[in-house]
Copies of this chain bind each other. A is one copy, B any other.
Amino acid sequence: MNTVVYDTYCEDVIGRANVRDTPELVSYYKDLERLGTAALWTVANKIEPWEPKSASVPMLWRYRDLREHVLKSVDLVTPEQAGRRVIYFENPGRKEEAAAVGWLYSGLQVMHPGENASAHWHSSSALRFIMEGRGAYTIVNGHKMTLGANDFVITPNGCWHEHGVEEGGLPCIWQDGLDIPLANAMEAGFYGVHPDLHQAIGYPVDDAVSIWGAPGLTPNGVKWNQNYSPLFKYQWEPTYEALARYSKAADGSPFDGHLMNYTNPSTGGPVMATMGASMQLLQPGFVGKAHRHTGSFLYQVAKGSGYSIINGQRFDWQEHDVFCVPAWAWHEHVNASQTDDACLFCFNDLPAIQSMGFYREEALADNSGHQPVIT
């Protein structure tokens, strides 16, 4: 006979629930269930943990393992069939949510010259980080942007968007990042296909960068009231130059080296309401200290090689590898080179976490701020 147990989560700590099952109580619990209710003390310690324990596990996906499979998809499915040819990262703890970490989806998309995907919109926010190829472009609400390696581009919640690769280009691979799992969790996922399947291009190519991409300057008389950045594209060259200058002018963080956030130039805030993104430079020989914080983070190695220790586990990374840091996981980054800098692109759900008041952080106090590595 199957006996339900209700006192699994008891803790013998003052201020915590500690009620052992008795026949009378079990009978009472069953009465409550019939009314669509339950007794809080049977689950209180479970649902009010002392600190977060992420459902996601630290993971690293090696580009050298994935690249051939990504390319193979071109032979296996057409863009028309697949919608988008994407191999996505499936965190072992988040398979049901199709998430790479936390509530963030990410995958590698491939497109051949002359291909393009049909235009659509969704209430998920999306971003892309270009990895290889030539001739890729994205169109967002009629603004066409050309894309090169390590360029970062956003296609925000509610915007019509479509991607393609120019006829004379080379096969392109990029990383997609979306908050699809978050939008679904919030029960706010909407999707629409463009009635014409493609948008008209209504502006000069790369006009967003020309209009909004100047340091300390914004166009007069151009009102911007959206909750996302009007500067849809953030190019690699000025970003890397900015990091190089920054790293010479200031000390940076003991945890993250020199980290700059991609921002909305009309507010100074994050690029989108649910997802932020950053690029950080680890100087040659940089050995970061460990800290942990809420929020989920997905990294791509934009330059160089090194390793990160995440909850005591070491992950060696090189260019184009992708790895994640789950919420409240200890993590520290190391640039393995004494001569070259390393750059990590990252996107995360910090804007959502912070607007909800859920951000907390802690530096590792022990062992000079370094985790013991599990071997």
Contact partners of A157 in chain B: CB under 8 A: 357-358
State whether B265 touches A184 (Cβ < 8 A).
no
Contact partners of A18 in chain B: CB under 8 A: 81
Is A311 engaged at the interface, CB distance under 8 Å to the other chain? no
Interface bin, chain A: 35 or more
Cross-chain pairs A/B with CB under 8 angstroms, 27 sampled: A35-B61, A36-B91, A37-B69, A38-B87, A40-B88, A41-B77, A41-B84, A41-B86, A44-B82, A47-B181, A103-B186, A187-B328, A188-B359, A188-B360, A203-B250, A204-B248, A210-B245, A210-B248, A214-B215, A215-B215, A215-B231, A218-B261, A218-B268, A220-B260, A228-B357, A263-B265, A273-B357
Interface residues of A (CB under 8 A from B): 13-19, 24-25, 28, 31-33, 35-41, 43-44, 47-55, 59, 61, 65-66, 69, 72-73, 76-77, 80-92, 98, 102-103, 105, 107, 118, 120, 122-125, 157-158, 180-194, 197, 203-204, 206-207, 209-222, 227-229, 231, 234, 238-239, 241-242, 245-246, 248-250, 253, 256, 258-268, 272-274, 278-280, 294, 296, 326-328, 351-353, 355-360
State whether A48 touches B122 (Cβ < 8 A).
yes
What is the CA–CA distance of A212 and B188 in the complex, to the nearest angstrom? 31
Which listed residue, B40, B186, B265, touches A87 by the CB 8 Å rule?
A: B40
Contact partners of A19 in chain B: CB under 8 A: 77, 81-82
**Contact A38-B219, Cβ < 8 Å, known A98-B47, A124-B48:** no
Which listed residue, B14, B47, B272, touches A184 by the CB 8 Å rule?
A: B47
Contact partners of A33 in chain B: CB under 8 A: 90
Contact partners of A47 in chain B: CB under 8 A: 98, 105, 180-181, 184, 189
**Contact A89-B215, Cβ < 8 Å, known A185-B185, A278-B220:** no
What is the CA–CA distance of A264 and B212 in the complex, to the nearest angstrom? 14
Contact partners of A267 in chain B: CB under 8 A: 267-268
